[in-house]
Every structure is written in structure tokens, then in C-alpha cells.
Amino acid sequence: MQSHADFNDILSPEDKKGRVDHPQWLINGFREVTLACGLIDVPLIGYPFTWSRSRGTPNAIEERIDRALVVPSWSSIFPLAKLFNHSAPLSEHNPILLITETPTQHTKHRGFRFENTRLNEPDSAEVVKESWDNSHATHLADRLAMTAASLQQWGKHVFRKYRYEIDKCKRRIEELRSTDDRESVRYLKGSEL
């Protein structure tokens, strides 16, 4: 049985950054309820705040109002669960993603899939042509399998390049999220990474 609640409250003063302090009696009340219910707060990975308003101004406020609270029995079923805070520059709320991998789950080997983005790579056509021309197989299925294998090997290099660029953009977003100046906020919202 799953349950969902939207509390929009914080558990500690560290869950808020900005102008007016959050009333301590509200923090205490929310904390007491979570303790009385035996709830465990799944640690958040990434930027510590999930909601913001007026970033880049003197009135900026950031809070961690989005979280995953679980009971111990759930936590024992999903001991490797992780909660990730992602960026959404054009929204006040950041999306959070709960990954519930169990210790026995294994990644299945996926078959070959050709990604259309690879067509933008200047040497993709050459990889296909070279593999096809150098294949000595006479059956179409064998030639396709050999070409797929060549593309898969070549794609590992391309994927590493994409992964590097994605990671670089994520690092830049994290840098921008941790500053409150107008220029950084404008840059982040304009996605000019």
C-alpha cells in the first residue's frame, strides 16, 4: 500500500534559506508528527532546497519542502533507495526522483538500439559504410548484426562524449543554483550553459 501527502513544511531551520525565519513552533510540530508516525526522511542528493521564490533578488527564499518520508518496513525493503533533486530553472519547484533499487535487482543487458542523435555525428555514416563493406557475411541478418556491433562499439565513445557534456552542464547548473545574484539566475533561466 502506498500513500502520498503534500506537507509543504520543513523539518529544521536548515531546510530554509532566505528572509523571514520559519516559525519554530511549526517546525517542531511537523517534526513531532513525523517522529510519532515513525517516519524516516530519505536523504536528498543534490542541491539542498527543492523550492525557491524571487531568486536573484533581496527577497529570495529557498526551502526544502519536498521530501520522501517512509516507514521503517519500507526502508528495509528498499535499503538502497535514493532521492535525487533535479533542476527546473523555469519553475519554483525542483523535480525530485526517488530511486527504489533493491539489492537483488540487476541491470539487464539491453539489445542494440540506434539513437537518432547519432545521425548528427559526422562519422556515423562512415562507421555504417565501413562495417557493411568489410563484412564478409552473405546473409542480410549477419551483415546487420555485424554493423550493429560496430555501431554499438562506436556508440560507446559517442555516449562518453555526451555523458561528459551532460555532466559538465549539470555541474554548471549546480554552480548557478548555489548563487543568488541576478546574473546567475538570469543565466540559469535562459539555459545559456
Is residue 167 within 8 Å of 159, Cβ to Cβ? no
User: Residue 42 in 3-state DSSP?
Assistant: coil
pLDDT digits (tens, 9 = 90+) for 48-105: 999 888 877 888 899 999 999 999 999 888 888 999 998 877 788 889 999 987 655 5
Alpha helix segments (H runs only) across the chain = 24-36, 72-77, 124-134, 140-177, 182-189
Cell of 112: 542494440
pTM, entire model? 0.58
pLDDT tens, position by position, 177-188? 777 777 877 777
Contact status, residue 63 vs residue 45, Cβ threshold 8 Å: no
Length of the chain: 193
The CA–CA distances, whole Å, from 66 to 9, 11, 90, 112, 140 equal 8, 11, 17, 38, 53
The radius of gyration of the chain's CA atoms, rounded to the nearest angstrom, is: 24
Residue 169 has pLDDT above 90, yes or no: no
Convert the pLDDT of each residue in 13-50 to its tens digit.
999 998 888 889 999 999 999 999 999 999 999 889 99
Count of C-beta atoms within a 10 Å radius of residue 85: 21
Q: 13, 27 in Cβ contact below 8 A?
A: yes
Which neighbouring-strand residues pair with 96? 85
